[in-house]
Amino acid sequence: MFRSTSRTVAATGLLLALGLTTACSTGQESTKAADAPVAKVDGKISITYLQKQGDQEYFVGEAAGAKAKAAELGVDLKVVNLGNDANKTISEVQAAIAQKTNGVVIVVPDPAVGPQVVQAAKDAKVALL
């Protein structure tokens, strides 16, 4: 019972943090939309959750908690199992961006691809957690 609750809380925290980073502002207005670190979300929020080893019990539970919270909040959530494949990581991030996701939550299977993931999200103005 405790493990399931902590997973749900963790997933909720991830979704809320991502939602807040895409929906909140400092109150200061930018003179250009191009100056914004992430694109403004109009309408329903779409999040892509890319996780390593998605077939392991921990990540299965985490994905289930994230899906439940996303459904509760009315957020479109796509969960992708990357396994341990660094190449798949990059291609799935690029695919998520091409599909106009508003945010990417990722557990990279190889830290070496982290900078490439960050740059892709930054270039596309997609929120990243």
Let me know the angle formed at the C-alpha of 81 by 74 and 121, rounded to the nearest 5 degrees: 70
Q: How much helix, strand and coil, in percent to the nearest 5, is found in the chain?
A: 55, 15, 30
Compute the distance between CA of residue 109 and CA of residue 11 in angstroms, rounded to an integer. Answer: 18
- Give me the tens of pLDDT residue by residue for the chain, a chain 129 residues long: 444 444 444 444 555 454 444 444 444 444 454 556 887 887 889 999 999 998 899 999 999 999 999 999 999 999 999 999 999 999 999 999 999 999 999 999 999 999 999 999 999 999 999
> Whole-prediction pTM value?
0.71
The burial class, CB within 10 Å (0-12 / 13-18 / 19+), for 121 is buried
What does the block give as tokens for 107? 């557990």
Domains of the chain: 2-23+43-128 (3.40.50.2300)
Sequence-separated (6 or more) residues with CB below 8 Å from residue 58: 7
- SS3 for 12-56 is HHHHHHHHHHHHCCCCCCCCCHHHCCCCCCCCCCEEEEEEECCCC
- Across 91-113, b (16+ Cβ under 10 Å) vs e yields ebbeebbeeebbbbbbebbeeeb
